[in-house]
Amino acid sequence: MKLTGPFSQIISLRDLPLKGALKDEQLFVIQNGGIVTENGKIIKTDNFESLLDEYPQVETEPIEGNNVLLPAFIDSHTHVCFGGSRAGDFAMRLNGKTYLEIAESGGGIWSTVKNTRKLTEEELFHSAKERVEKMIQNGNTTIEIKSGYGLSVEEKLKMLLAIQRLKAVSRAEIISTFLGAHMKPKDFEGSNAAYLELLVNEVFPVLRAEKLTNRIDIFTEKSAFSIQESRVYLQKAREQGFEITVHADQFTPGASVMAVELGAVSADHLEFSDENDIKALSEGDTVATVLPGASIGLGMQFAPARKLLDAGVCLAIASDWNPGSAPMGDLLTQAAVLATFQKLSIAEVLSALTFRAAKALGLTDRGTLENGKTADFISFPTADFREIIYQQGQLKPNAVWRKGERIV
């Protein structure tokens, strides 16, 4: 058993609802706080002196100076296993080309597919590991990674094997997701439906047999797969026992409604969600995961985060780190920018990066600092938690703990 502290403030995020709007006044702030952990779990958070009295023989991990303690961040949507760069795409966007025009000229997702296919499993593993290490330094201890750039049976499995290797050695917890349905490969001679059927028949059994993932994703959009094509594919995934999630409403509305109807754990993007999508999300249990990094990278509108929260939706914020639309990869900076434009409270932002993001991954054992939860937490060198969002990502964590052990 170990007591870590004292911290100027501990923001535990306990006793907050999973859905809907939040005010900063709802945050429970422990002044001069400490946290007791054992075997990777939180035993108690309270005033540091009170914990010393309650646990007189406990080992202490002293913290010096002014620091604020938060639950560690959870990035529930990334594509950090990839090859190459899309700086050329970015330059074309700055010169007025649209996402679809860039794709038609040889850029876009297919460009990354070609560059990813050039890398060996070993090279993919090492490049993804470097990105994950950067994310850990920025306070992320649970990270989802999608396998969206192989787009052939052999290449998709290569990506998943690289992610599996990373999962085994990373200091963060890695959650893998199969995104074979990112787009139909240009070298596949057949219809969208035939390609999706290939994934169901040839890849799904391997995912199960090799225990590579239990999560299936699809990009539902005019440039990728239609709502009806996605529905058939996701229904088959559910029938085989997979959790499902959807790239929804990035350029056109409607996919969120389908995601809720099918019981998807999350609907991600949502830049063009309309009133029907917001209503469906408010009535269902699907998490709305917004990706401000993609809006920044593409120079387009943000997802309607304020409307989603006011409608009673569970909102998560993720980085979408990928080489094309969201190359920044800095989750906290993106969240702070989104908060500014969508008028989100600090309580709403912190919740969207922690326990609400955990729900988007089907996790209930982390995201708050309370008894029995996984002891993943981070500290920032400040005496006032409001500085973390106020400084728009420029105030970085000075310590990161995973299962009670300091890793940064």
Classify residue 15 by burial, with Cβ atoms within 10 Å: 0-12, 13-18, 19+. exposed
The gap from C-alpha 370 to its chain's centroid, in whole angstroms, comes to 22
Residue 53 tokens read as 């009295």
Query: What pLDDT score does 324 carry?
Result: 87
Bond before 6 cis per omega within 30 degrees: yes
Helix (H, G, I), strand (E, B) or coil at 308: helix
Same fold, 2-72+367-406 and 74-360: no
Task: Give the dihedral sign, CA 157/158/160/165.
Answer: positive
- Pairing mode of beta strands 2-11, 405-406: unpaired
Query: What pLDDT score does 89 carry?
Result: 87
Series of mean pLDDT values for 10-residue runs along the chain (408 residues): 98 98 97 98 98 96 98 98 89 86 80 87 95 98 92 84 96 97 90 97 94 97 95 98 98 98 98 98 98 95 98 98 93 98 98 98 98 98 98 97 98
Q: Which amino acid is at 68?
A: V
Q: With contact defined as beta carbons under 8 Å apart, do 322 and 82 qualify?
A: yes
Say which DSSP state 26 is in.
G
Largest interatomic CA distance in the chain: 71
The whole model's pTM is what? Answer: 0.96
Query: What pLDDT score does 302 carry?
Result: 98
The gap from C-alpha 162 to its chain's centroid, in whole angstroms, comes to 19
How many CA atoms lie less than 13 Å away from 267 in the CB half-sphere?
Answer: 36
Q: Which amino acid is at 353?
A: L
Residue 301 tokens read as 């509108």
Residue 150 tokens read as 């192989």
Helix (H, G, I), strand (E, B) or coil at 265: coil
Q: Rounded to an integer, what distance in angstroms lies between the CA atom of residue 128 and that of residue 122?
A: 10
Query: What pLDDT score does 151 carry?
Result: 73
Q: Rounded to an integer, what distance in angstroms lies between the CA atom of residue 159 and that of residue 154?
A: 9
DSSP-H helix ranges across 314-405: 331-342, 346-352, 355-360, 386-390
**CATH number among 3.40.630.30, 3.10.129.10, 3.40.50.10300, 3.20.20.140, domain 74-360:** 3.20.20.140
CATH classification code of 2-72+367-406: 2.30.40.10
Residue 328 tokens read as 């920044």
Q: Rounded to an integer, what distance in angstroms lies between the CA atom of residue 377 and that of residue 223?
A: 40
For the chain, domain boundaries: 2-72+367-406, 74-360
Give one DSSP letter per residue of 111-173, joined into a string: HHHHHHHTS-HHHHHHHHHHHHHHHHHTTEEEEEEE-TT--SHHHHHHHHHHHHHHHHH-SSE
